[in-house]
Amino acid sequence: MKNFEAKAYMDDFSLITIVAKKPFSIVPSFGLLQTDGIVHSLTILKQENYNQQYIYKCKSPIQLNLGRDYWIKINEKQIPLQIGSIVRTNQFDSLFFDDGHLGAHYTPDSTVFRVWSPVAVEMKIMYKGFGESDVSEAIMERTEKGVWHFTLKGDRHLTEYIYRAKINHEWVEAPDPYARSVTINGERSVVVDLKKTDPDQWQRSEKRMNLRSKTDSIIYELHIRDFTIHPESGVRNKGKYIGMTERGTKTSKGNITGLDYLTSLGITHVQLMPVADFGSVDETKPDTQYNWGYDPVHFFAPEGSYATDPNDPALRIKELKTLIRTIQDNGLSVILDVVFNHVYKLEESSFEKLVPGYYFRYDGGGNPVNGTGVGNDTASERKMVRKFIIDALLYWLNEYKVDGFRFDLMGIHDVETMNIAAQKLKSLNPGIFLLGEGWDLNTNLEPEKRATLSSAKVLPDYSFFNDSFRDSVKGSIFIDGTAGFINGNQEHSVKDQILRSINGYAGKNDKFLSAKQSINYTECHDNHTLYDLLKIRHPYENESQRKKRQQLALAFTLFSRGVPFIHSGQEFYRTKYGVENSYNMPDRINAFNWHDCEKHKNDIKYFQELIKIRNEQPVFRHEAGRINLLHELPEGAFGVEINHSLTDKKGKCSNWQNVLLLFNQSLKALEIPIHGSWKIAVENEKCAVRNLNSNTYLIHPLSFSLLFV
């Protein structure tokens, strides 16, 4: 048998594919062998040679039954029949979709375990008390929809468990895909009494800002470990969830850090990079490894390396809840960065172990497609994958009371799933903030079904990272790519893109329904920081000139229509020392450098003042309105006039009515013709109102000015 190189797959309920590496010496005779010894002859429908393999498509005379073992007899030999592409058929999806509760449902009296695996012939649950060595085993019962269930009596808080399934004639062990928490490094699932993980007075905070629209938001992206790990952070629990909850932290020179710094900026939303359990950091020694966390393993359980004790399955939940509540109690909202587009390792995932071939997309040759670039793409269009994603989102919303989700590589997902998710999430929290990366990736899904930027108008509840904004302002993310405006590009096409950027790329003939769908950014965790990119692009400029270019980018981000997005540290020229992709680099590369923050106090003050202007003046936060390009400007200058009218309850106009945004990308001062009476609010990186008593305005080199009436 070991030398008999052939495999057989169940590809439909009556279709079997036999693949041999060598031709048969005699004309093959194929039969289907049941466990009771009955053999059914198979009819060969098609024979072909492909990629040095001999493939036979055969029809079974009986309907194949998932949940039973079969063998294929080939002449005098036999091989096990394995699960093939049957799990990717519409019939499979229809027959076995189950909308019920999955995972471990805890009560003080009992815990009900439910796991979906229609292809399993048998299923057992292996369980033990937390930290104990004696393991018990129980046989689970199967429902018509392929859900296996078992009830364990008594209070099972912190019971460890794992599923043991017989699939493809072999026994495999897998943690629960729906596990609310896990043991260290996610080896086993853990039952949790979630009430015991609630911080004191745990309910949705009422202290966050009441925002009229997404365009009232300013998002600030940060990494849990980065933000407090630096020696100068003054934080006791460095790199941990609760490190970000500490108040009164300061550098050795007495400057504020941590949460106090965060709340001083004027931002509205904190976007946390992945906090769901990921596989690229050994939780037994978290201080020796680093990762951004885009390697998901357990989608419902928090990452243990950010907990003060990763051995405690309940503590990681409580500490993350405490962080979220603390941020909210300080007036900010929390967005979670979620990664549903792939898993860390396909072969080791519970998805693949429990229902092999179902949760992922495959090409015509049966190989996993790789649009994500990390080896696998999840198939959100399949019913139980869609259910899983939505169940996870609803769990994080209900249990952790978060305020929004950022979807990593959202273009991998399908439009229908994303719209259903939005509908369900908004029914619970109408103000939830949903955003994602709408990149069009080479996955096995029809382009029109992908949740990409080109589908923005059929995804009205989602905002998208606007790469057109990014590229028009700073240029390509690639070193040898096209330069953007702040890097000296004066081409008409770039100016046209800049105008569209300031208008939020919104309108009938543009990419978004309104400006609230545009996430305006020039820097995020991916690629070079803007400071590092400018250093590469302008190696002969002095530090002051490069910083002025970065301030230009900041002004575009804050005063264009849409949602400003700031990468943590961008306000003080964060560097990663030239490293383009720092996803697994050590703390010395990734740490939020509080010494640099301290060094640039004046720049941070300017950043805070710009945010204050945006927050106070509705003209910058409206989703629509007239924007006029200023013509006849000298080379190197760009400017627009924004017309705005807002009346109060008495019918009187309030706030700024008209605004001029002026940008100078050149290394010399430029004279700008001005018509009418204006006041200057921002010039040369200073915010102070003064009257302009002239019909011309001299704008400083590499600078931004803001005028208003």
Task: Report the pLDDT averaged over residues 480-506.
Answer: 87
- By mean pLDDT, which of 92-101, 199-208, 572-581 is the weakest? 199-208
Q: What pLDDT score was predicted for residue 489?
A: 86
Alpha carbon distance 32, 44 (integer Å):
12
- DSSP per-residue letters across 11-35: -SSSEEEEEESS--SS---EEEEPT
Comparing CA positions, the residue from 476, 603, 600, 468 lying closest to residue 537 is 476
Do the strands 404-407 and 333-338 form a parallel or antiparallel pair, or are they unpaired? parallel
Cα torsion angle, 533, 337, 202, 328, sign: positive
pLDDT above 50 for 709? yes
pLDDT in tens, 570-610: 999 999 999 999 999 999 999 999 999 999 999 999 999 99
Q: Is position 408 annotated as part of the catalytic site? A: yes
pLDDT in tens, 645-690: 654 444 444 589 899 999 999 999 999 999 989 999 999 999 999 9
SS3 291: coil
Name the active-site residue from 176, 232, 437, 603.
Answer: 437
pLDDT above 80 for 481? no
Return all residues near 413 (Cβ < 8 A) that are at least 6 apart: 340, 341, 380, 389, 407, 450, 451
Name the average pLDDT for the chain.
Answer: 94
Alpha carbon distance 518, 561 (integer Å):
8
Name the active-site residue from 408, 523, 532, 623.
Answer: 408
Q: What pLDDT score was predicted for residue 1?
A: 37
Do the strands 518-520 and 563-567 form a parallel or antiparallel pair, or are they unpaired? parallel
Rounded to 5°, the CA angle 37-54-61 comes to 35
Comparing CA positions, the residue from 254, 206, 124, 570 lying closest to residue 401 is 206
Query: 493: pLDDT confidence band, cut at 50, 70 and 90?
Result: confident
Query: 337: pLDDT confidence band, cut at 50, 70 and 90?
Result: very high
Per DSSP, what are the bridge partners of residue 691?
Answer: 679
pLDDT above 70 for 564? yes
Placement of tokens 């927050």 in the chain: 615
Query: 86: pLDDT confidence band, cut at 50, 70 and 90?
Result: very high
Number of H helices, E strands in the chain: 14, 36
Task: Report the pLDDT averaged over residues 465-469.
Answer: 96
Which token pair is 683?
């010039």
- Selected residue with higher pLDDT from 481 and 262: 262
Q: Is position 437 annotated as part of the catalytic site? A: yes
pLDDT in tens, 110-162: 999 999 999 999 999 999 998 888 999 999 999 999 999 999 999 999 999 99
Q: What pLDDT score was predicted for residue 2?
A: 44
Q: What pLDDT score was predicted for residue 647?
A: 44
Buried b (16+ CB within 10 A) or exposed e, 396-413: bbeebbbbbbbbbbbbbb
Q: What percent of the chain has pLDDT over 90?
A: 86
The Cα-based distances of 482 to 283, 529, 653 in angstroms read: 42, 17, 43
Burial of 94 per CB tally in 10 Å (0-12, 13-18, 19+):
exposed
- By mean pLDDT, which of 145-149, 165-169, 498-502, 560-564 is the weakest? 498-502
Our measurement of the distance from residue 131's CA atom to the centroid of its chain's CA atoms, rounded to an integer in Å, reads 33
Determine the angle formed by the axes of helices 543-559 and 492-502, rounding to 10 degrees.
50
Among the residues of 189-332, which ranges form H helices?
A: 224-229, 258-264, 313-329
Query: 209: pLDDT confidence band, cut at 50, 70 and 90?
Result: low
pTM assigned to the model: 0.96
Alpha carbon distance 632, 670 (integer Å):
12
Among the residues of 181-265, which ranges form H helices?
A: 224-229, 258-264
Alpha carbon distance 15, 12 (integer Å):
5
pLDDT above 50 for 258? yes
- Any idea how long the chain is? 709
How many Cα neighbours within 13 Å face the side chain of 343? Answer: 22
Determine the angle formed by the axes of helices 543-559 and 530-537, rounding to 10 degrees.
130
Q: Which domains does the chain have, with CATH numbers?
A: 6-83 (2.60.40.2320), 92-174 (2.60.40.10), 214-619 (3.20.20.80), 626-708 (2.60.40.1180)
SS3 105: strand
pLDDT in tens, 355-394: 999 999 999 889 999 999 999 999 999 999 999 999 999 9
SS3 88: helix
Rounded to 5°, the CA angle 325-330-332 comes to 80
Determine the angle formed by the axes of helices 313-329 and 383-400, rounding to 10 degrees.
60
Alpha carbon distance 251, 598 (integer Å):
8
Residue type, 127: Y
Return all residues near 640 (Cβ < 8 A) that are at least 6 apart: 499, 502, 627, 628, 629, 630, 660, 661
Residue type, 240: K
**Contact (Cβ atoms closer than 8 angstroms) between residue 593 and residue 574:** yes
